[in-house]
Amino acid sequence: MKLNTFCLLSLGAFTITTALGQPAETILNHGKIISANDKESIYQSMAIREGKIIALGSLTELKVWQGPNTQVIDLKGKTVIPGLIDSHIHAIRAALSYSTEVHWFGLQTIEAALNRLKQAASSAKPGEWLVVAGGWTEEQFKEGRRPTQEELIQAAPNNPVYVQWMYDWAMLTPAAYKTLNIQSEADLPGGGKFELDKAGKPTGAIVGGIVPLFDKLPKPTFEDKVAGTQKFFKELNRVGVTGVIDPGGFNMTPAEYAPLFNVWRNNNLSVRVRYSYFAQKPNKEFEEFKELTQLLPMNFGDEMLKFNGIGERVTFSMYNNDKASPADQEKFYQVARWAAQNGYTLTQHWQENASASSLLEVFEKVNQEFPIAKLRWSIAHLNNGTEATFKRMKALGVGWAMQDAMYLDGDKALHRHGEKNLERMPPINTALKLGITIGAGTDAHRVADYNPFIALRWMLDGKSASGRKLRGNDEIPTRMQALKMYTSGSAWLAHDENKRGTLEVGKYADLAVLSEDYLQVPLERMAQIHSMLTMVGGKIVHIEIAN
């Protein structure tokens, strides 16, 4: 009697056939598999074994890899892309409070945002904090404004509420002020001020001093932080992200990495994490780096979690993007020289091209003694970079971590920079033509949404959240170029371009099966794309279950 050697498991839009043998552990069939390699090859099928791609080709070509134990996933024509890698996202910090915050990501009206707050209040205990920590802007709301204090009170009358907009503004309810014992501006940390309306009366909002203000809020428990880490990374998997490069951030002391390490030790990481350390101690940055890295060499860790050097704040005095004094440059040089001498990657936050020479002069001085090209140093942000600046970066082998800052902040930037300047912000094609390696990302979640398909749409249409087109067509890349920035470009910044970032034989099977065809979907629908099945190292970390 012959046993039935195949079983069928229906999960969401896929039919998974499991056989009882080898040689490939998994085969993906009937798909549009975008390799994003140099030839921009597209395949029907992929075979995976031991976490890596062992074959790509047509259905017929890959039949040879199917054995009695092979799991066969019928993609039913769905598009597959390399797993997306966010080149600059504060994912570790975002994850710490993800399970305890209220999220307004992608909501289109204030009504929807307030309803989200009401829902959270209905399940919260009286007196429990409700915190919206960022990732939204009034530009995304059809009303074109921020919520009022009265609206927040009505949505959550029994809870202190804190709503933050980027690093510039926060609205608190009276219950929040009372709990924090803020009675006057003298009680505000970091030089914050009360926002006043046209009549000179306080609106309930605070402007300035937002980082120390946020630090006064109650902290999640360690258990909450662990749960938040797993939950946020699973959410990243849902939108096709399989890797992040994390630059640290404000308030990210060494202790704040413990929840991440807990998840990693328990083999529960579903995203490959490459993290830098961000200086926390003013005027003691060099000592801080030297002390912390004595037992933390570059690339320490494994394929899921690795130390990726220092930044994005290397020294406090070279973080404000004004033209640095010789004394500031010398202080930065001492740390940068030490980093190069010891083989550390360095990433540096820099906003304004007008002062970028202050930074590049230090890089060039270090490079004369210790060549930095192999270290994958990078500059983050630099939305108004020029051809001259990019040429200097190219000569040094310095990459660019570029994000969609103009999406949530576009209309504000329009008033600051003017329409003509915004037509080339950021100058993506200018940098590509000069051979700069660009890693795309979001800078989420305080100042941006983590959704990569919002960032990809913005790269391709140049429109802000309000729908206004800001960037000119001369700086709009092709769809494939944008995808490569989010895959192989970011992989380069992580020293991983030979392991991931494209779907090629020998590389990790890090991939996302998309709800729509990235190469064909109308741009107005691109932000709604999500992953129906995400793999990291051939392991399914997300699958959409049909109702």
pLDDT for 442: 98
* pLDDT tens digits along 136-170: 999 999 999 999 999 999 999 999 999 999 999 99
Q: Are 434 and 221 in contact (CB under 8 A)?
A: no
The pLDDT value recorded for residue 110 is 97
Is the separation of the CB atoms in 446 and 163 below 8 Å?
Answer: no
Mind listing the domains of the chain with CATH numbers?
6-83+531-543 (2.30.40.10), 98-214 (3.10.310.70), 222-500 (3.20.20.140)
**What is the token pair recorded at 382?**
């630099």
pLDDT score at 547:
47
Tens digit of each residue's pLDDT (9 = 90 or more) over 408-444: 888 788 888 899 999 999 999 999 999 999 999 999 9
| List of residues 6+ apart from 39 with CB closer than 8 A | none
Q: What is the pLDDT of residue 340?
A: 98
What is the DSSP code (8-state) at residue 373?
G
How much is the pLDDT for 414?
85
With beta carbons less than 8 A apart as the criterion, state whether 99 and 70 touch: no
Mean pLDDT, the chain, whole residue set: 94
Q: What are phi and psi of 62, to 5 degrees?
A: -90, -5
- Cα torsion 164, 168, 171, 175: sign: positive
Question: Which band of pLDDT confidence, cut at 50, 70 and 90, is reported for residue 21?
Answer: very low
pLDDT beyond 90 at 450: yes
How high is the pLDDT of residue 1?
25
- Determine the 3-state secondary structure of 163 from DSSP: strand
pLDDT class for 406, splitting at 50, 70, 90?
confident
Spell 450-471 as b/e; 16+ CB within 10 A means b. bbbbbbbbbbbbbbbbbeeebb
Q: How far apart are CA 442 and CA 433, in angstroms?
A: 22
- Over residues 199-206, the mean pLDDT reads 97
CA distance 14 to 22: 21
pLDDT at residue 18 above 80?
Answer: no
pLDDT category, 3, cuts 50, 70, 90? very low
Query: What is the pLDDT at residue 13?
Result: 62
Handedness of CA 251, 254, 255, 259 (dihedral sign): positive
Q: Are 252 and 278 in contact (CB under 8 A)?
A: yes
Angle, alpha carbons 52-57-58 (nearest 5°): 135
Q: Which residues contact 228 (CB under 8 A, 6 or more apart)?
A: 95, 96, 97, 98, 99, 100, 220, 259
Amino acid, single-letter form, for residue 215? D
Q: What is the pLDDT of residues 456-488, one digit of tens each?
A: 999 999 999 999 999 999 999 999 999 999 999
CA–CA distance, 441 with 84 (Å, rounded to integer):
9
pLDDT of 19 > 60? The answer is no
| Sequence-distant (≥ 6) Cβ neighbours of residue 210 within 8 angstroms | 164, 167, 168, 169, 170, 190, 192
Taking residues 175-201, report their average pLDDT: 96
Residue 4 CA to residue 7 CA, distance in Å, equals 8
- pLDDT at position 2: 30
Strand-strand pairing, 378-381 and 26-29: unpaired
